[in-house]
């Protein structure tokens, strides 16, 4: 995430831009688990996705992982085959991190040696059902996904990653066939913070498999403590730990990923069309110098919305006709010489609409509550969070103040879910639909479930 300007700072910078460019400036030991039980009244021959989760902050990494694994086994049963685990670990474990995913795979392997796919990484803060923001500990979400094929990967480039087995041949072959009600393709993705081209990877994954939902985020630097790796992050893929690139897992089969992306900002004033741009520099708005139009946009608001003057300002970018799918980007600086606005974006496309935004935590909280209520009310019969047939994944901006833990726990107290703070959130461009993009100052929620289940008699 980049720094942002308050409305007051923005106005000051705009006024000064004609002379020079304006730069923009202990926890107690506990184990928390949420219990899920075998669904009642269902057809035993029908595969059902089930989920369990736990959090622990024991003194050592090994102890915390051991306790989380024991809790998950208690929830789902020792005989349940676990297929996928997301493992999140707090900062401060140094080189011990290299053993973390290996612990999980060894302890959750079945009698034949089959182990679940493990993805995840090191995060700045863990969000759990009972702890709003845990600075230390381990969080684990485990899933049993009968009939689902998993394709884990690690990549350091924007090319399509190498997948195990027939990988892309199977995925592309299936995606070319007519869509069925029970076969879905989705992905979880986590990136090390120095993997700056992750947005290109997101785009290519979805170009290869159109309609594939993706959730995840950009993790924290500083995973390794001191030394030459001190600013690198850490991501997990099965038994391996990497300090570069991105890890993920593509899921294909009878498991559905539902996504909710809630932004923590609201639009103010009118929008303008970007008529000329170069890289991340906006050169013209509505056919005029961008900086001049920005001054006019803000001056028009000067006496209309004074309460917004102390809120941080961003710009929202959207395609024409898709103004409800705003992609927020911070203003990096103003280029007085070129009369340009430079935003935190690799490339701005002409014909994109620009909208001024102000960060508003209260607005974001209200929107998240409404979105979650609507989603839970739309769940098909037989999907019951209290019975572990729905699992939640939350990726929240490190600067967010949307109280996701409280809203989730209040709306769905028995839901097995796991959350973390990230530096960029992957989720749909719209609230619940559209291609996945990297957001800022938002909450991206993913819900995994069976496509449908019969209602209990």
The CA–CA distances, whole Å, from 50 to 181, 182, 290, 390 equal: 19, 16, 52, 7
Give per-residue pLDDT as tens, 366-397: 989 999 999 998 888 878 887 889 999 999 99
Mean pLDDT value across residues 274-281: 93
Model confidence at 112, in pLDDT bands (50, 70, 90)? confident
End position of a domain, from candidates 330, 359, 388: 359
pTM, whole model, 2 decimals? Answer: 0.84
Task: Name the H helices within 302-446.
Answer: 361-378, 404-411
What's the whole-number mean pLDDT along residues 80-84? Answer: 94
Q: Are residues 196 and 305 in the same domain?
A: no
The parent domain of residue 253 ranges over 35-264+362-457
Does some domain include residue 79?
Answer: yes
Helix (H, G, I), strand (E, B) or coil at 242: strand
pLDDT at 44 over 80: no
In this predicted structure, the answer to whether residue 402 has a pLDDT above a threshold of 90 is no
Residue 209 and residue 246 in one domain: yes
Mean per-residue pLDDT over the chain, rounded:
83
Give the pLDDT confidence of 218-245 residue by residue, as tens digits.
Answer: 998 988 876 555 689 999 999 999 999 9
Strands in 149-155's sheet, in edge-to-edge order, are 149-155, 246-253, 184-191, 213-218, 425-428, 436-439
The answer to whether position 30 is within a domain reads: no
| Residues 45 and 137 reside in one and the same domain | yes
Q: With residue 103 as reference, give the H or E element that holds it.
A: helix 100-108
How far is Cα 406 from Cα 385, in angstroms, rounded to an integer? 17
Q: Find how far residue 419's CA is from the centre of its chain.
A: 9
* Least trusted range by pLDDT, from 31-35, 111-115, 325-329: 31-35
355 with 366, same domain: the answer is no
Task: Answer whether residue 329 is part of any domain.
Answer: yes
How many domains would you assign to the chain?
A: 2
Outline where DSSP puts E strands in 297-435: 312-318, 327-335, 340-343, 353-359, 390-397, 417-422, 425-428
Q: Is the pLDDT of residue 175 over 80?
A: no
Q: Is residue 426 part of a domain?
A: yes
> Are 165 and 20 part of one and the same domain?
no
Q: Cα(310)–Cα(365) distance, rounded to whole angstroms?
A: 19
Percentage of residues of the chain with pLDDT beyond 90: 46
Strand partners, 287: none
pLDDT band at 212 (very low <50, low <70, confident <90, very high): very high
């Amino acid at each position: 995430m980049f720094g942002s300007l308050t409305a007051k700072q923005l106005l000051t910078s705009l006024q000064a831009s004609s002379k020079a460019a304006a730069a923009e400036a202990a926890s107690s030991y506990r184990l928390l688990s949420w219990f899920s039980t075998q669904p009642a009244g269902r057809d035993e021959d029908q595969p059902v996705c089930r989920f369990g989760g736990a959090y622990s902050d024991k003194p050592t990494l090994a102890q915390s992982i051991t306790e989380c694994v024991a809790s998950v086994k208690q929830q789902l049963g020792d005989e349940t085959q676990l297929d996928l685990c997301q493992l999140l670990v707090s900062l401060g474990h140094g080189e011990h991190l290299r053993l973390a995913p290996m612990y999980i795979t060894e302890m959750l392997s079945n009698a034949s040696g089959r182990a679940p796919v493990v993805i995840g990484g090191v995060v700045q803060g863990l969000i759990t059902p009972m702890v709003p923001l845990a600075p230390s500990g381990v969080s684990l979400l485990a899933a049993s996904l009968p009939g689902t094929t998993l394709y884990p990967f690690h990549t350091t480039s924007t090319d399509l990653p190498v997948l195990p087995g027939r990988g892309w041949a199977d995925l592309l072959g299936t995606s070319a066939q007519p869509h069925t009600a029970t076969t879905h393709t989705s992905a979880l993705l986590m990136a090390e913070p120095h993997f700056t081209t992750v947005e290109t990877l997101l785009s290519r994954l979805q170009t290869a498999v159109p309609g594939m939902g993706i959730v995840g985020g950009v993790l924290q630097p500083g995973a390794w403590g001191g030394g030459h790796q001190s600013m690198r992050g850490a991501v997990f893929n099965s038994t391996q730990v990497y300090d570069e690139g991105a890890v993920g897992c593509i899921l294909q089969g009878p498991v559905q990923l539902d996504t909710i992306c809630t932004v923590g900002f609201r639009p103010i004033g009118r929008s303008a069309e970007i008529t000329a741009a170069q890289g991340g520099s906006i050169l013209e708005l509505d056919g005029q110098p961008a900086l001049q139009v920005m001054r006019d946009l803000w001056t028009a608001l000067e006496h209309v919305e004074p309460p917004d003057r102390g809120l941080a300002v961003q710009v929202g970018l959207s395609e024409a006709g898709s103004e409800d799918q705003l992609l927020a980007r911070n203003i990096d600086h103003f280029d007085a010489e070129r009369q340009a606005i430079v935003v935190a974006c690799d490339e701005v496309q002409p014909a994109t609409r620009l909208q001024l935004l102000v960060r508003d935590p209260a607005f974001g909280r209200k929107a998240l509550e409404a979105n979650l209520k609507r989603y839970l009310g739309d769940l098909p019969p037989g999907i019951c969070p209290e019975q572990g047939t729905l699992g939640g994944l939350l990726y929240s901006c490190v600067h967010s103040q949307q109280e996701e833990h409280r809203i989730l726990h209040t709306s769905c107290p028995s839901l097995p879910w796991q959350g973390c703070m990230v530096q960029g959130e992957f989720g749909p461009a719209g609230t619940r639909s559209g291609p996945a993009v990297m957001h800022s100052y938002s909450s991206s929620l993913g819900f995994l479930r069976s496509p449908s289940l019969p209602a209990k008699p």
